[in-house]
Each structure stands twice: as C-alpha cells, then as structure tokens.
Amino acid sequence: MKVSYHGHSVVVIETNSGTKLIIDPFISGNELCDLKVEDVSVDYILVTHGHNDHLGDTIEIAKANNATVIACPEIVHYAEKNGVKKTHGMNIGGSFTFPFGTVKMVYAQHSSGFELGEEMIYMGNPAGFVLSIEGKHIYHAGDTALFSDMSLIKEEIDIDLAFLPIGDNFTMGPKDAAKASFFIQPKLSVPIHYNTFPVIKQHPEDFIELLKKDRGLIMATGDSLTL
C-alpha cells in the first residue's frame, strides 16, 4: 500500500485494492499542506480528535465523496448533524473490521474541542488509531503526551509505521516522542504535528537523532512510501 504525508498530521493511505483513507484532514488554513480540499478523493476519513487542526475539512470532504467518517461518537454526532451521511462511531479500546482492514482506537492523552466562533464544542475523548491493513500495521498517535501504556501496543501488535507528534507545547516534544517510539518499537517512526505554527516549531532531525539508526524518517509534505 502507499502511505503519504501532507503536513501537520495529515496522512493518506491507499490500499493495494484501491481504497483511500485520510487521517485528520486539516487542509484549509494549513500552509504546510499540498492538498486542495476539492481535489481530495477518499472512501474513509479518520479523525483522532475534535480540535480544528485535526477535524479540519472532514465535513466538506465527507459530503463531497460520500465518505465514511470514523471517529468517537461525539465527532460522529457533529458530522451527522452537519449533513454527513456515512459514519462509524468508535471508542477507546474498541476495534472494528472494515472492508479495507481493521481499525483499533487507542488512548491518547490530550484534549478535544471544536472552536466555532466564540463557542467551544465538546468533542469527546482524543484518540490514536492502529490500522491493520493488508498484513501491515500503522499507528497514528494523533495529539498526545507521552504515557507508559504506549508499550501495550507493542505487546499486541508489531507496528510497521508510527506517526508521532513532536511539536511540543500541545503534544510530545522530540525527546518524549523518541521515548514513545522506544515504547512502541515500530520498524519506522515518522514525526508529525510540527512547524505548522510558531509555537510548535521544531527541528525533526532532533527526533531522528534520538532514535536507533534506520528507525526514523522525516517525510516532507507530499512524500510517500510503500509498505
């Protein structure tokens, strides 16, 4: 399958059978993203939590593509209320097998709310996703702090590719993200959620240097790899 990175926390997965997924489609207002909302063609949208820079353009993309939104019940409710027809609610610890593979929703230590004008809408618990597709396993941590229970992921699944936030301030910084990689033991770790805003400015090389040789990869916007 093909996995591509598009700035901030935006990840696109295209399976060998042709199914396309996008995770946290923050495109509009994201200067680091190379995608255009009107050009995005996907079958599924996975949302880790309800912050504006992760929920992003979910509603517009889902409606334009008749795509299924996979997220916690509160985000699913918001999507349905705003005209999305196909949704699948999940919660922490749960897994479900879709036509493309299995999704497990895992814990993340963060917060979750959508700013709509002056109102902050509660969006349930933040999460990460472990995707098991075509014999490969991908972990997208969403926004999270470091926590020791990340090691439980390794006990169940050998992760091939992990996307870990390194921006600091709102999430793990490079040092804690490197510790997270140690807990999870993926074959390859990719830094995300950095340099989009001044407060999360980072040097991803710092994260890579803290990992064992050949364990880390910096993906520039638009870069892709094959699993």
In the chain, domain spans = 2-219
Distance (Å, whole) CA 184 – CA 227: 18
> Closest Cα partner for 146 from 164, 133, 163?
164
pLDDT averaged over every residue in the chain: 97
Q: Is the pLDDT of residue 213 over 80?
A: no
Do 8 and 30 touch, CB atoms closer than 8 A? yes
Q: What is the pLDDT of residues 148-180, one digit of tens each?
A: 999 999 999 999 999 999 999 999 999 999 999
DSSP letter at 16? T
Q: Is the pLDDT of residue 39 over 90?
A: yes
Do 132 and 160 touch, CB atoms closer than 8 A? no
CATH superfamily, domain at 2-219: Ribonuclease Z/Hydroxyacylglutathione hydrolase-like (3.60.15.10)
Percent of the chain predicted with pLDDT > 90: 99
**Residue range 74-93: mean pLDDT, rounded:** 98
Distance (Å, whole) CA 119 – CA 32: 27
Query: Virtual CA dihedral for 85, 90, 95, 97, nearest 10 degrees?
Result: -10
For 104-169, the DSSP string reads EEEE--S--EEEETTEEEE----EEEEEEETTEEEEE--S----GGGHHHHHH---SEEEEE---S
> Closest Cα partner for 185 from 209, 225, 152, 207?
152
pLDDT confidence bin for 17, thresholds 50/70/90: very high
The answer, as to whether pTM is greater than 0.85, is yes
What's the pLDDT score for residue 214?
82
